[in-house]
Amino acid sequence: MRRIGVLMGYAEDDPETKPRLVAFRQMLEKRGWSEGHNARIETRFAPGRNYEPLAKELLATQPDVILAHTTPVAAALRRENSAIPVVFVSVSDPIGSGFVATLARPGGNFTGVLNYEAGVVGKWLAMLKEIVPRLERVALVANPKTSPYDYFLRAAEAAATSLAIKILPSTVATGADIERAIESFAAAPNGALLLSPDSTIVLHRDLIIALAARHKLPAVYPYRFFVVAGGLMSYETDQVALFRLAASYVDRILRGDKPADLPVQAPTKFETTVNVRTAKALDLTVPPGLLVAADEVLE
C-alpha cells in the first residue's frame, strides 16, 4: 500500500476543486494505482490559510509522495520537508520560489507542472488593449504572500511599454484590501484590471467580479471560471489537464524515479473565453479578431 498526500490550495467545497481531484485520481487509476487496493490518498484543504499546520499534519502521515496545489502550499511543504518527494501544480515561478534549481534539472525533492510562464502577461495585456484601445492604466492585483507577484510584475512592466500602458502595482491580502484597491483605482479613467493566478484572488473571485461590474472596469482573468461567473475574459491553461500531468509524475516517483531528475513540465494548451454579455454591460464592443480567436464565447 503506497501513501499519496494531497494538499489543495482551494476549499473542499469550491466547485473548482472536485474536477481537478477527479482528474488526478482517474489518471492514477489509469496508471495502476487504485485507492483502497494498492494506494491510500490523504487529502487536506488549505483555502488561503493554515498552510503550515496542514503541511505538518500531512507530512506526519509519512506519504511516499505529495501533490502540492498552489505556490503557498508548495512553500509550506518546502519549509517543513526536504526529503519526501513533492509534485507541485498551479505554481508559476518554481525557480524564484526556491522549489527547483532549474526547470530542466530540479535537483531536489520537488518537481511538477508549471502553471504560467511570465510571458503570458503580455498576452493578457494585449487582450485588454484590443478590447479597450484607449487603455492607459492597468492595475495588477494579487497577494504577494500567495502568488509570485514580482515574477508577474516584472513581465507586465516589460510588456506594457510597447502597448503604451502604465502598470500600477496593487497588492492585497483580504477582501477589504481588494475593495479599497479597486475603488481607489476606479477613480481615474481609462483603466483596467489584471488579476494574477493567485489563491487569494480565487478565494475572493465573486467580490472582484462584482467590483469590476460596479465600477465598469474591464478585466482579464487567469481562469475561465471567472468569466463563467460574470467576468469579462480569460486566457488560461487547461487546469484539469495539468492535474493529469501531475498524476503521471506521482506515478513515476512511486515507481522509483527521483524528482531531481524529472524536468518541470510546461503547459501546452491554452484557452480564451470571452463574455459578450459582460462586455455589453461595460459598454464595450468585442473586436472581431478577439471573437474569432476565442475558444468559447458566452452570450
Q: Which cell numbers hold the place of 234? A: 480569460
CB 93 within 8 A of CB 151: yes
Mean pLDDT of all residues in 278-295: 96
Answer whether residue 268 shows pLDDT above 90.
Answer: no
Q: Going by C-beta distance under 8 Å and a sequence separation of 6 or more, which residues neighbour residue 156?
A: 121, 125, 138, 140, 167, 194
Architecture of domain 2-116+238-269: 3-Layer(aba) Sandwich (3.40)
Q: Is 120 exposed, middle or buried (0-12, 13-18, 19+ CB in 10 A)?
A: buried
Percentage of the chain with pLDDT > 70? 100
Q: What is the CATH code for 120-236+271-298?
A: 3.40.50.2300
Q: Using one digit for the tens of pLDDT, what is the confidence trace for 40-87?
A: 999 999 987 789 999 999 999 999 999 999 999 999 999 999 999 999
DSSP 163: G
Q: What integer pLDDT is reported at residue 34 of this predicted model?
A: 94
Q: Please compute the mean of the pLDDT values over residues 212-227 and round it to a whole number.
A: 97
Q: Residue 174, SS3?
A: coil
Structure confidence at residue 47 (pLDDT): 87
Those residues with Cβ within 8 angstroms of residue 185's Cβ, 6 or more apart along the chain or in another chain: 137, 139, 168, 170, 191, 193, 217
Contact 271, 238 (CB under 8 A): yes
Q: Quick check: 228 and 80 in contact, CB under 8 A?
A: no
Domain ranges of the chain: 2-116+238-269, 120-236+271-298
List pLDDT tens digits, range 154-192: 999 999 999 999 999 999 999 999 999 999 999 999 999
Same fold flag, 2-116+238-269 and 120-236+271-298: yes
Helix axes 239-254, 17-30, angle to 10 degrees: 40
